Each structure stands twice: as structure tokens, then as C-alpha cells.
Structure 1
């Protein structure tokens, strides 16, 4: 394989749902994929390297990027898809809730993104895509989500910060802010109620999320953008 031309994407939270859909989408685009999650199993595809590990644990983010460089020689894109959502009234969150949500959503972003950006700078550029939630911009009385807003709001903010810091060095940074997407996290019997949270009257699909990420992948003049894929949720209700 010519590692000079084979583009490489690293995807966290890649074993199911949106992450699994992103692996498929990037393979169709011709990318080699480095897929991480806590429980991911080996792939039969030689261009999909699976690296198990809890992205919130110290050392795992650097290990994932090192594995990508060892196997494929470069990192072109990082999709920070791993995330955790705990909906509770603010006063009922526990210290354990706080630690777990911040560890996954913030620390899980921090270490792997540092190492990915270093690899991208060495390779002449790249792209970071973060996955966030429209609840940051459009809070909802029926979905108490202070910890999601605290952490994912941080990702929205750092998207702009890093986009500007690295704009002249060829690294773009964007975010996709989601409404509710049809994944294994949401049982089928909840879909009808969840659809009502979106002005368009339905929940989104994994393929629609992948379409948005790939749009940003190909949008070379777009950086620092928070793209809402939420059925109109962030616009109003």
C-alpha cells in the first residue's frame, strides 16, 4: 500500500450507531479507518484497524494515534464521536456523573485530538470533526441536560478556537451538532415521542449524520463551523 496517497481517518466510539456508520461512510470514500471504542472487535477489512480502549483513560488517545501512524503512516481526519449523555435535573447529578461525562466528552476529546493534530501538522494538514448536540444552543424543558451543555458546549467553543489557531497551517476543525438520531441508544418504542422534539416531526438517521460529516470533509473552505443536523431543533419549535 502506498501510504503517501491512502488517506486515513480515526473514529472514536466506532463500534455501533453513528460511529459504525461513519466507518462505513469513510471506507466508501476510500479512506483507511482506525476505529476505537471500549469493546471494539477486530475487522476482516485490512483497511480497518480496530484499537480497543476507553478513550477517557489517560494514554488511550495517544495509543490510538500511534497505532494509526504505525499501521498507515499518517492521520488525515479525526472524528471525535465518542460521547456520553446523562439526562437528569441539575441538582440530582452526582460527582460520579460529573466525572464520567467530563472524562468521556472532554478528556476523551483532549488527548487524542492533541496527538492527531501533531500528526496532521507533520503531514501537511488535516481535519478534526467533533460530534455535539443541539441542546447546547436550544435547551429543552423536557430534556434536562446541564452536563451535556457544559461539556459539548465546550467542544463547540474549542472548535472555533482550534480552527483559528491552525487555520494557516492546513488543519480544519468543525463540529456537527445533532438532534436525536436513530441508534441502539434509543429503543424503538421511544421513537415516536422523540420525533416530537424536532420541528420536522421525526428523528434523524445515522446516514444523515454521516452525510453531514462527509460534507465537512470535502468542504475545504469551511472551518470553525458548528453544523446543526437536528431537524430544525436549534432554529426553534
Structure 2
């Protein structure tokens, strides 16, 4: 069997970095991307396996970046077998404070980035006769939290959930599987960026009374990448957040 090739966007820190690291450990060829070139270079050095690792810096909201990722994967490794659309931004802001410029940031990076990178990947996957796309959403699309106003990012992530199911329907007959992972609270640098200094303080939102780790997301991504009969699913990886609550 040939070595499979995966592209991971937003791979310099957090969930994306964990996914790239796990797939390298499992023997995959990996193409990593991030907008911050310094962070990307540091991660590239840290991950090692440079015979199977390629880096492509670029803003995923630009359609040219997605195509550059596909071109890099094909030129170095010959195929694009898995795409993980992980790159994204997330932060809280009250609905009445959101203006058009602010909203456009989330739609451009989160939704547009996922949309057009998937489009470039699917063109290549159609030539190959198969492929897998894994999109990163959020449980907050289906389970909003009062006191955490985040209409802009959640609107963009809701679009990603809808896109996931539609692509699965449109390209299932071509043996292209498209799924989503909807994480709950995950211990990653993203928490600090949203103003949460102690992510463990949110453990009570989950039935397990603890938050998740980036490796939990990476392990689910690996399962989905290697499955040949799961498609059109948005899988909640949330410690029971959506299923229920504890009585305070």
C-alpha cells in the first residue's frame, strides 16, 4: 500500500499540531499550513520526520493558499488522501457589537477557507477516485451557552457543519468521505486567545467533568481518515456537553 498524504491547515499550534504529529507517527506524509510563518517554522523543526513533512505558509482565507497546499502535496508525495480543515479563529463578542468588518473575518477565515480549500482538494481527489475531508466545527453550533456571546464565529462554524453534510451528499458516489469533528472545551492555546485563562474551570460544562486534550481530537481525526464507511457525520467530541448537564 502506498503511503497516504494528509494536509492539515492551522497546524502550527494546538489541535492542528497534534493532528499533524499523530499522523506523522502513524507513517503518513504530512503537509502543514499556518498563517504565522514563524510559528510554522518552529513546528516544522519540532515535529521532525522531514522526509515526510512539508510546510506551506499562507492565509487560508485566500483561495490561492488552498491550491498551493494541494500542489505541494501532489508535487512532493503524489496525492491528497486526507484534508483536515482545522485553521480558524474564535473569540466572544456581543451580537450588538459585531459590525460587518468583524463578521467578515470569521466568514473569510473559517467558512471561506474551509470551502475553497475543500474545493481544491476535491478536484484532486476526483482524479484519484477517493479521498477524505475532515472539518473542525464546534459543539456550540448545536448547544449554545448563555453568557458566552460568540455569534460571529458560531455562524461561520454553523456554515462549516452544513457544508460538511452537503459535500458528503454531493461526492459520496465518488468515494470521497466528508465528516466533521465538533469539539467541546479542549486544552489548547485557543482558550487563552478567547480570554479564558483557566480552561479547566469550564470542566463542569461536560458530563465527564473535565475538558479534552488536543490528542483526543487527533485520535478521532485518525479514525475518520482511516474509515471507509463513515461520511456526512458531525461527531461531538465534547465529554457529554451536548448530551446533558449536571445539576449545580
Give me the CA root mean square deviation: 1.5
Q: SS of the residue aligned with 2:127?
A: helix
Superposition pairs of residues 45-124 of structure 1, within 5 angstroms? 45-124=50-129
Once the two structures are TM-superposed, the CA of residue 91 in structure 1 deviates from its matched residue by 0.8
2:16 aligns to what?
Answer: 19
1:231 aligns to what?
Answer: 239
TM-score of the pair, normalised by structure 2: 0.90
CA contact (8 A) 1:135 1:149 kept: yes
CA contact (8 A) 2:185 2:199 kept: no
Question: Residues 152-171 of structure 1, C-alpha deviation per residue, up to 9 Å, x if partnerless?
Answer: 11111111111111111110
Equivalenced residue count is 234
TM-score of the pair, normalised by structure 1: 0.94
CA contact (8 A) 2:11 2:17 kept: yes
Q: Which of 35, 38, 43 matches 1:38?
A: 35
Once the two structures are TM-superposed, the CA of residue 235 in structure 1 deviates from its matched residue by 1.5
1:135 aligns to what?
Answer: 140
Q: Which of 221, 226, 231 matches 1:213?
A: 221
More helix by share: 2
2:155 aligns to what?
Answer: 150
Question: Residues 111-165 of structure 1, C-alpha deviation per residue, up to 9 Å, x if partnerless?
Answer: 2111101111111200000000000000010211212221111111111111111
Once the two structures are TM-superposed, the CA of residue 70 in structure 1 deviates from its matched residue by 1.1
C-alpha distance in structure 2 between counterparts of 1:58 and 1:122, whole Å: 20
C-alpha distance in structure 2 between counterparts of 1:104 and 1:199, whole Å: 31
Show structure 1 runs of 5+ residues with no match: none
CA contact (8 A) 1:138 1:236 kept: no
CA contact (8 A) 2:63 2:117 kept: no
C-alpha distance in structure 2 between counterparts of 1:15 and 1:94, whole Å: 29
C-alpha distance in structure 1 between counterparts of 2:218 and 2:122, whole Å: 22
Question: Residues 46-65 of structure 1, C-alpha deviation per residue, up to 9 Å, x if partnerless?
Answer: 21100000111231111111
